[in-house]
C-alpha cells in the first residue's frame, strides 16, 4: 500500500491492478472481480496517447476470474470473450484461438469447431496478413477437430462393416473430413515448430489411406530437419512408424539411438536395450549395456523391474562368458561413487525386499556382481531370500558367490 | 456584415459566422463555402459583443451548439464549487461577494473581460486590436453567468492549427479543434504576464476566498473534501449545459487526471493573490479557527491526545511568536515573509511538543510510559495518567485500519463519468462504443462480486478520527493527565525529559531546493516517524512537509542556543 498522496489516473489504476493481482494469486475470485470492475474504465483512456495494455490485462484476468469463480457460467464466459474479440483487432485471432481451447477443455467440441470456422473466415485488411501465424494455427486446430470427426466416423464404419452394412453417406463424410483435415495439417507442419499433435493426426490419416511414403517423409522431416526445434517425440513417432511397417532393425536402431542421446531416461530405452542385446554385432551389444545403465541413472527407473532385469540379464551374460568384462568396468567407473548409495543402500534393500521381491532379486544380482558378495544390499536380500526359502534366491546366492572374483576385477 | 449576397436557399441577407470561418445564413441556417477573407474589425467586434452580452444564449448554430469561451467554463466550475462549499456550511457571502469579485478581478487583470484592450497576441493577419466598444463597468448582475463586457478578440477562427499541433492530433482541416472558441489560444498563449487559469487553480480561488473570510476550513480539509467528492472537481464539466460542447483541446483544459497536490494549490494561491494585487488579508487572530491555538486543539482531539497538551502547544506558539497576527496573516506579494500553512504548522507544533515531553528517540518514551504506568497503579483520584504505550497501540491500530481503507478507496477510484469525451466528432462513435463496452463489463463482473457500486461517499466531516470518552474500553485519551510524566520544580510542572534532539542542525535554503530539510524515514526514530505518519494521514500530505515545519519551529525555538553554540550537539537542556 502506498502512502503516496499524489494520485493520478495512471497510478490509481496501477494500484488497482496490484490489488487484483494479489487477489488472483490468493484465489479470492470475488475480491478480484470487485477490483476488476474498477479497473475496467482504463479502457477509456481515449484522450491519452499511450495504450499500454489494459485491454490485454482485462482479457487475461477476466478469463481467469470467469474460469474459477463459482457463479460464472459458460454463457457469461462466451459473452465476455466476444467482447474481448472486438476490443482489439490486433489480437482478434489470438482471442479466438484461446476461446476455442477453453471450449474444448469444457468438452464443447461443436462450439469450438464453430468458433474456429468463424475465425477462419475473418478478414481485416492488412491485419489478416499480419496475423497469418495465428490463422494457420486456427486452421490447424480446426484440422484436428476434422480429424476427430473423421476418426469417429471411421470407427462407426468399422463397426458397421463388421455387421456387413455399408453406409455410403458416412463414408463420404469421412472422406470429406479427411480432406479438410489433411489440407490444414499439412500446411502447419511445414513451418518449423513443435507440432506433435498435428503430426500424429496427419500421419494417422496418411497411413489409413495408404500413403506411407508421404507419412515417412513427414516424420523424417519432423525428426531430422535442423530448422525444427529438437524434439524427442519426433523420434519416437518415427520409430513407432518404422516399427509398424516392419522396417529393418538398422533403421529402428538409428532412430532410437538419437532418442537415447537426447533423453536417456526415455521409456523406450528398455525396448532399445532388448533390441540391442539381441544384435549380432558387438558394438550394438555394448551400446545396449550403455543404454540400460544410462536409463537407470534416473530416479524414475529406480523401481522398474523390467529395467533391472535387462541389466541383470546382460551383466549375467557377460560374466558367464567371461569376455568383455571391461565393458562393465567402463560403465561402472563413473557410477561406482554414487550408485551404491543411490540404489544399493541397506534401507533400499529392506524396502525393495518388502515391497517387491522380483525387484530385489534383479537388483541383488547386479549389486552382487558390481559390489561383491559382501555388499550390504546383496547380503541382506540374499539372506532374506534364502531364509524365506525362495528358490531363485538360492540360485542367485550361488551364482554370485561363484563369480565373486569378477567383482575384484571390476573394482580395481 | 460585408457579405451582401443573397442566401441561396432563402434569399435573405442575414449572415453570421460559424466557427470554421464560414458564412451561414441566420434565417435558414444554410452554410456556404465562402470563408471570411476580408478583415473587418467592426464586424468581428460587434459579433463578439453580440455573442457575449447574451450570456450563454448564443446564436444558434446549425447543430444547436453555442460559442463559449474557456473562462466561461471556469466560471461555471467556480460557481459549482462555491455552491458545494455553501452546502458544507460556508457562509453564502463567499460565493456571491468574495469569490465572485476575485474572479472578476482576475478576468480583468488577465484581460479576458472587463477591459478594453486585447490580451495576448493575435496570430494571423487579422488585425483585431481595438474594438471600439465600451468598457462595461456595470455593477454585478445576479449570478455569475453573465459576463457583460467584451473581451478582446481572440479573433482568429481560422482553421490553421499548426501552433496547437503539439497538444493534439487534430488535423488542420477540421474546423473543430475545440468546442470552446479560444481553447487553442488558452493552451498556447505566452502566459508570463498572465496567470493562465487551470483546474487546480479553481481550488486556489476557493481557498483564497475561504481564507479571506477566515472560514473554519483548512486547505487540507478543502482538498480532502474534493477527493471525497463533496466539492466538484473531477468531471465537473458534466454540469456544463448541453450547448457548451467540449471536445478537442478543451479536454486538456478541463479534464483532470490527477488530484491536485497541496503544494501546487497553495503556491498558486499565493501567486494569484499577488497577481490580483490584493491587500493584506483580514487578520488571523487568536479567535480564528486557523490560529495555531485553535487548530492545535482540533488536531489534539483528532489524534486522541490529552487535552492538557494544549497548554504546551500554546506555550510553544507564544514562545516563538507564531500566534501573532502579523505572522499569520497573508500579505500578498510580500516575498520576505515565509507563508503560513496553518494546518501543517499546527500539526508541527504538536509534534514538537511531543518531542519536548517524550523525546521520541525510540527509547525514552517507552521508559517514560512504563514509569507512568507504575504511577498509575497508585493513582486513585482523578483521571488516569497518560501512557504513551497505550496511546500508541490504540492509534496504530486505528491508523492502520484507516490507511488500509484509504488505500483501497484509492484503488477503487472511478475517474470516468457518464458524459463521454472525445477529441473530435470523428472519434465520437468509437468513444461511445467503448463506453458501452466498459459499462457492460462493469456490470458483468459487478454481478460476480455481489455489490456493484463502489463504497458510499463518506459523509463530509471535519474530523476523520473521533474518540469518545464514553468508550468503555478506555481508548479515549482526551481526559488523561500528563502528571504521570511531569515533575514539580519550583511550583511549576515541567517535563521530566531534559533532552531534545533537533531534526536538523542546519536548515536548507528553501529557495534553492524548495525545502527546509530533507526527510528520510530511515534517518529518524520510529516513534518520530509514527507521529509524522499520523498527521500525514490526517492532512493527506507527505510526512516531509510536516517535517519541514517541525524543523522551522525548532530552529525558532532554540534560536538563541543555536546562535550561541555553533557546534551544537544532542543533550541540550531546555
Q: How far apart are CA A99 and CA A404, in angstroms?
A: 66
Alpha-carbon A83 to chain mean position: 35
3-state secondary structure B239-298: HCCCCCCCCEHHHHHHCCCECCCHHHHHHHHHHHHHHCCCCCCCCCCCCCCCCHHHHHHH
Reported as a pLDDT band with limits 50, 70 and 90, residue B15 is: low
Among the listed residues B531, B495, B558, B493, the one whose alpha carbon sits nearest the alpha carbon of residue B300 = B531
Q: State mean pLDDT over A186-194.
A: 91
Nearest to A95 by CA among A146, A49, A55: A55
> Chain A partners of B262 at a C-beta cutoff of 8 Å?
5
| Calpha distance B443→B452 (Å, rounded) | 7
Q: Does B162 have pLDDT greater than 60? A: no
In a domain, A60, yes or no: yes
The bridge status of strand B22-25 relative to strand B15-17 is antiparallel
**What is the reported pLDDT for A53?**
75
Question: Nearest Cβ partner of B450 from A1, A8, A30?
Answer: A30
Which of A8, A15, A46 has its CB closest to that of B427?
A46
Mean pLDDT of chain A: 88
Model pLDDT, residue B457: 65
| Cβ contact, residue pair B446, A80, below 8 Å | no
When the pLDDT of each residue in chain B is averaged and rounded to a whole number, the result is 74
Within a domain: residue A18?
yes
Q: Which residue, among B177, B430, B444, would best test binding to A if mutated, counting the most A CBs under 10 Å from its CB?
A: B444
Of B262, B403, B411, the CB nearest to A16: B411
A112 to chain B, closest Cα gap in Å? 23
Residues B36-70 have pLDDT tens digits of 444 333 333 333 333 333 334 444 444 556 777 88
For B255, the closest of A38, A47, A71 (CB atoms) is A47
| Number of C-beta neighbours around residue B529 at 10 A | 20
Residues of A in contact with B540 (CB under 8 A): 5
Per the CB < 8 Å rule, is A38 touching B542? Answer: no
Calculate the alpha carbon distances from B433 to A59, A293, B430, B443 in Å.
17, 66, 5, 15
Residue A157 pLDDT class (50, 70, 90 cuts): confident
Rounded Cα distance between A309 and A321, Å, is 18
**Residue A234, number of CB atoms within 10 A of its CB:** 25
Task: Give the integer Cα–Cα distance in Å for A17 and B459.
Answer: 27
Name the closest residue on chain B to residue A55, using Cα atoms.
B438
Main-chain dihedrals φ then ψ at residue B25, nearest 5 degrees: -85, 125
- Direct distance between the N- and C-terminal alpha carbons of chain B, in angstroms, rounded to an integer: 82
Higher pLDDT, B334 or A58: A58
pLDDT at A302: 93
Question: For testing the chain A interface, which of B446, B449, B543 should be mutated: the one with the most A CBs within 10 Å?
Answer: B449
pTM, two decimals, is 0.72
- Interchain pair B437, A9: CB under 8 A: no
CA B357 – CA B300 distance, rounded (Å): 15
Pick from A81, A53, A56: nearest CA to A66: A81
Of A95-109, B1-15, B143-157, give the range with the top mean pLDDT.
A95-109
Higher-confidence residue of A316 and B145: namely A316
Q: Could you tell me which residue, B145 or B16, shows the higher pLDDT?
A: B16
| CA pair distance B53, B45, nearest whole angstrom | 12
- Note whether residue A279 is domain-resident: no
Find the residue in B nearest to A29 (Cα).
B449
Task: Average the pLDDT over B243-254 and give the result.
Answer: 78
- Distance (Å) from the alpha carbon of B136 to chain A's nearest alpha carbon: 39
Q: Which residues of B touch A22 (CB under 8 A)?
A: none
B440 neighbourhood in chain A, CB within 8 Å = 83
Given a cut of 90, whether residue A236 has pLDDT beyond it is: yes
- With 60 as the cut, is the pLDDT of residue B284 above it? yes
* A375 belongs to a structural domain: no
Is A116 exposed, middle or buried, given 0-12, 13-18 or 19+ CB atoms closer than 10 A? buried
Nearest to B431 among A10, A37, A46 (CB): A46
> Residue B206's closest CA among B221, B186, B194, B193?
B221
Q: Dump pLDDT digits (tens) for A270-316.
A: 999 999 999 888 999 999 999 999 999 999 999 999 999 999 999 99
Percent of chain B at pLDDT exceeding 90: 24
Q: Is residue B42 within 8 Å of B55, Cβ to Cβ?
A: no
Residues B78, B98 contacting (CB under 8 angstroms) = no
Ranking B107-111, B275-279, B285-289, B348-352 by mean pLDDT, the lowest is B107-111
Average pLDDT, integer, range A372-399: 90
- The string of pLDDT tens digits covering residues B422-477 is 767 777 788 888 888 888 898 888 888 775 555 566 677 778 888 877 766 777 88
Q: Do A69 and B448 touch (CB under 8 A)?
A: yes
CA distance A63 to chain B (A): 11
CA distance A18 to chain B (A): 9
Preferred mutation among B402, B424, B445, B540 to probe A, highest tally of A CBs within 10 A? B445
Q: What is the pLDDT of residue A4?
A: 58
- Chain A residues within 8 angstroms (CB to CB) of chain B: 1-3, 5-10, 12, 15-16, 18-19, 29-31, 33-38, 40-41, 43-44, 46-49, 58, 62, 65-66, 69, 71-72, 76, 79-80, 83, 86-87
Query: Residue B492: its pLDDT value, please?
Result: 67
Domain assignment present for A14: yes
Split at pLDDT 50, 70, 90, the class of A44 is: confident
With a cut of 70, say whether residue B192 has pLDDT above it. no
pLDDT for the residue B6: 65
Which among A40, A49, A86 has CB closest to B438? A40
For residue A105, pLDDT over 80 is answered with yes
Cβ pairs A/B, distance under 8 A: 118
Chain B residues in contact with A28 (beta carbon < 8 A) = none
Q: What is the DSSP letter of B238?
A: G
pLDDT-derived band at A201 (thresholds 50, 70, 90) equals very high
pLDDT on residue B499: 76
* Chain-chain contact of A44 with B259 (C-beta, under 8 angstroms): no
Distance CA B240, CA B72 (A): 10
So what's the pLDDT on residue B126?
22
Q: Which residue of A has its CA nearest to B427?
A: A46
B444/A76 touch (CB, cutoff 8 Å), yes or no: yes
Cβ atoms of residues A320 and A376 within 8 Å: no
Residues in chain A with CB shorter than 8 Å from the CB of B421 are: 46-47
- The more confident residue out of B494 and B372 is B372
Residue of A nearest to B434 (CA): A44
User: What distance in Å separates residue A116's CA from the closest CA in chain B?
Assistant: 24
* Domain ranges, residue A59: 1-88
Answer whether A8 sits within 8 Å of B258, measured CB to CB. yes
Q: A60 and A94 in contact (C-beta within 8 Å)?
A: no
- Residues sharing a CB contact under 8 Å with residue B265, sequence separation 6 or more, in sequence order: B200, B201, B203, B204, B207, B219, B223
How confident is the model at residue A46, as a pLDDT? 44
Give CA–CA dist B70/B76, Å, rounded: 10
Candidates B167, B426, B441, partner chain A, best to mutate (most A CBs within 10 A): B441
- Cβ distance A1 to B452 less than 8 Å, yes or no, reads no
Give the torsion through C-alpha atoms of A213, A215, A219, A224, to 10 deg.
30
pLDDT the model gives residue B348: 95
Give the pLDDT band of residue B142 (cuts 50, 70, 90).
Answer: very low
Q: How far is CA A247 from CA A104, A251, A254, in A?
A: 37, 7, 11
Q: What is the pLDDT of residue B10?
A: 65
Distance from CA of B362 to the nearest CA of A (A): 22
Domain assignment of residue A224, yes or no: no
- The answer to the question of residue A35 being in a domain is yes
Residue A256 is placed in which grid cell? 532410437
How many structural domains compose chain A?
1
Amino acid at each position: 500500500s502506498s502512502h503516496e498522496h499524489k494520485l493520478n489516473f495512471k497510478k490509481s489504476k496501477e494500484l488497482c491492478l496490484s490489488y487484483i493481482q494479489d487477489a488472483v494469486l490468493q484465489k479470492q475470485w470475488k475480491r478480484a472481480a470487485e477490483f476488476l470492475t474498477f479497473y475496467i474504465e482504463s479502457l477509456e483512456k481515449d484522450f491519452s496517447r499511450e495504450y499500454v495494455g489494459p485491454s490485454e490485462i482485462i482479457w487475461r484476468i477476466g478469463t481467469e476470474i470467469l474460469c474459477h469463480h463459482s457463479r460464472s457460467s459458460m454463457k457469461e464466459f462466451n459473452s465476455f470473450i466476444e467482447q474481448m474479440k472486438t476490443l482489439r483487432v490486433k489480437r482478434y485471432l489470438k482471442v479466438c484461438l484461446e476461446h476455442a481451447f477453453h471450449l474444448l477443455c469444457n468438452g464443447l467440441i461443436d462450439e469450438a469447431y464453430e468458433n474456429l470456422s468463424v475465425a477462419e473466415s475473418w478478414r481485416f485488411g492488412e491485419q489478416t496478413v499480419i496475423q497469418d501465424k495465428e490463422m494457420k494455427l486456427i486452421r490447424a486446430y480446426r484440422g484436428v477437430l476434422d480429424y476427430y470427426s473423421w476418426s469417429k466416423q471411421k470407427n462407426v464404419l468399422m463397426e458397421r462393416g463388421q455387421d456387413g452394412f455399408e453406409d455410403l453417406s458416412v463414408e463420404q463424410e469421412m472422406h470429406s473430413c479427411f480432406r479438410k483435415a489433411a489440407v490444414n495439417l499439412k500446411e502447419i507442419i511445414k513451418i518449423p515448430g513443435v507440432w506433435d499433435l498435428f503430426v500424429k493426426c496427419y500421419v494417422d490419416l496418411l497411413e489409413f489411406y495408404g500413403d506411407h511414403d508421404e507419412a515417412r517423409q513427414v516424420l523424417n522431416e519432423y525428426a531430422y530437419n535442423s530448422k525444427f526445434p529438437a524434439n524427442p517425440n519426433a523420434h519416437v513417432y518415427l520409430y513407432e512408424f518404422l516399427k509398424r511397417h516392419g522396417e529393418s532393425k538398422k533403421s529402428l536402431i538409428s532412430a532410437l539411438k538419437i532418442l537415447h542421446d537426447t533423453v536417456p531416461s526415455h521409456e523406450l530405452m528398455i525396448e532399445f536395450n532388448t533390441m540391442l542385446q539381441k544384435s549380432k554385432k558387438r558394438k550394438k551389444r555394448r551400446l545396449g549395456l550403455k543404454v540400460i545403465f544410462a536409463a537407470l541413472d534416473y530416479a524414475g527407473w529406480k523401481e522398474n523391474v523390467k529395467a533391472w532385469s535387462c541389466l541383470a540379464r546382460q551383466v549375467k551374460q557377460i560374466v558367464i562368458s567371461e569376455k568383455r568384462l571391461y565393458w562393465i568396468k567402463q560403465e561402472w567407473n563413473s557410477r561406482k561413487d554414487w550408485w551404491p548409495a543411490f540404489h544399493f543402500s541397506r534401507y533400499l534393500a529392506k524396502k525393495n525386499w518388502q515391497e517387491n521381491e522380483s525387484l530385489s532379486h534383479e537388483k541383488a544380482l547386479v549389486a552382487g556382481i558390481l559390489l561383491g558378495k559382501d555388499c550390504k544390499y546383496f547380503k541382506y536380500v540374499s539372506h532374506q531370500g534364502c531364509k524365506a526359502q525362495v528358490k531363485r534366491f538360492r540360485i542367485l546366492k550361488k551364482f554370485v558367490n561363484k563369480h565373486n572374483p569378477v567383482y575384484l576385477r571390476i573394482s580395481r | 456584415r460585408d457579405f451582401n449576397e443573397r442566401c441561396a436557399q432563402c434569399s435573405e441577407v442575414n449572415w453570421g459566422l460559424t466557427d470554421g470561418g464560414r458564412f451561414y445564413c441566420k434565417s435558414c441556417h444554410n452554410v456556404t463555402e465562402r470563408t471570411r477573407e476580408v478583415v473587418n474589425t467592426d464586424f468581428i467586434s460587434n459579433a463578439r459583443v453580440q455573442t457575449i452580452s447574451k450570456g450563454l444564449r448564443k446564436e444558434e448554430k446549425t447543430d444547436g451548439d453555442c460559442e463559449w469561451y474557456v473562462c466561461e467554463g471556469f466560471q461555471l466550475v467556480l460557481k459549482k464549487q462555491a455552491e458545494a462549499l455553501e452546502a458544507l456550511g460556508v457562509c453564502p457571502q463567499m460565493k456571491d461577494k468574495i469569490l465572485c469579485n476575485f474572479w472578476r478581478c482576475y478576468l480583468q487583470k488577465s484581460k479576458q473581460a472587463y477591459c478594453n484592450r486585447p490580451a495576448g497576441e493575435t496570430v494571423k493577419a487579422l488585425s483585431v486590436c481595438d474594438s471600439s466598444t465600451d468598457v462595461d463597468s456595470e455593477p454585478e448582475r445576479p449570478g455569475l453567468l453573465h459576463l457583460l463586457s467584451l473581451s478582446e478578440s481572440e479573433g482568429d477562427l481560422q482553421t490553421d492549427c499548426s501552433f496547437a499541433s503539439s497538444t493534439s492530433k487534430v488535423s488542420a482541416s477540421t474546423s473543430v479543434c475545440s468546442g470552446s472558441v479560444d481553447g487553442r489560444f488558452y493552451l498556447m498563449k505566452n502566459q508570463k504576464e498572465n496567470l493562465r487559469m487551470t483546474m487546480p487553480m479553481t481550488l486556489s480561488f476557493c481557498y483564497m476566498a475561504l481564507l479571506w473570510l477566515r472560514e473554519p476550513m483548512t486547505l487540507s480539509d478543502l482538498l480532502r473534501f474534493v477527493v471525497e467528492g463533496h466539492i466538484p472537481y473531477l468531471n465537473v464539466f458534466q454540469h456544463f449545459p448541453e450547448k457548451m460542447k467540449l471536445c478537442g483541446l478543451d479536454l486538456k483544459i478541463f479534464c483532470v487526471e490527477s488530484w491536485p497536490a497541496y503544494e501546487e494549490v497553495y503556491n498558486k494561491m499565493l501567486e494569484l493573490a499577488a497577481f490580483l494585487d490584493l491587500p493584506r488579508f483580514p487578520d488571523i487572530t487568536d479567535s480564528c479557527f486557523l490560529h495555531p491555538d485553535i487548530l492545535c486543539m482540533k488536531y489534539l482531539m483528532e489524534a486522541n491526545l490529552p487535552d492538557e497538551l494544549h497548554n504546551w502547544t500554546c506555550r510553544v506558539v507564544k514562545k516563538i511568536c507564531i500566534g501573532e497576527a502579523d505572522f499569520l496573516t497573508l500579505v500578498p506579494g510580500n516575498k520576505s515573509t515565509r507563508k503560513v500553512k496553518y494546518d501543517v504548522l499546527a500539526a508541527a507544533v504538536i509534534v514538537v511538543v511531543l518531542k519536548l515531553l517524550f523525546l521520541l528517540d525510540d527509547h525514552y518514551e517507552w521508559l517514560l510510559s512504563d514509569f507512568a504506568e507504575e504511577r498509575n497503579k497508585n493513582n486513585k483520584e482523578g483521571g488516569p495518567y497518560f501512557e504513551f504505550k497505550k496511546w500508541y497501540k490504540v492509534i496504530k491500530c486505528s491508523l492502520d485500519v484507516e490507511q488500509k481503507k484509504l488505500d483501497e478507496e484509492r484503488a477503487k477510484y472511478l475517474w470516468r463519468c457518464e458524459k463521454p469525451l472525445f477529441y473530435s466528432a470523428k472519434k465520437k462513435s468509437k468513444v461511445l462504443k467503448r463506453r458501452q463496452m466498459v459499462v457492460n463489463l462493469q456490470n458483468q463482473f459487478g454481478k460476480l462480486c455481489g455489490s456493484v457500486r463502489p463504497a458510499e461517499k463518506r459523509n463530509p466531516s471535519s474530523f476523520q478520527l473521533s474518540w469518545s470518552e464514553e468508550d468503555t474500553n478506555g481508548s479515549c485519551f482526551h481526559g488523561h493527565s500528563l502528571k504521570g510524566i511531569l515533575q514539580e520544580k519550583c511550583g511549576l510542572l515541567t517535563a521530566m525529559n531534559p533532552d531534545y534532539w533537533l531534526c536538523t542542525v542546519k536548515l536548507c535554503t528553501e529557495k534553492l531546493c524548495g525545502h527546509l530539510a530533507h526527510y528520510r524515514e530511515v534517518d529518524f526514530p520510529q516513534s518520530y516517524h509514527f507521529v509524522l505518519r499520523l498527521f500525514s494521514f490526517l492532512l493527506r500530505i507527505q510526512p516531509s512537509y510536516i517535517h519541514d515545519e517541525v524543523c522551522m519551529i525548532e530552529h525558532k525555538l532554540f534560536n538563541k542556543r543555536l546562535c550561541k553554540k555553533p557546534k551544537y550537539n544532542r543533550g541540550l537542556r531546555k
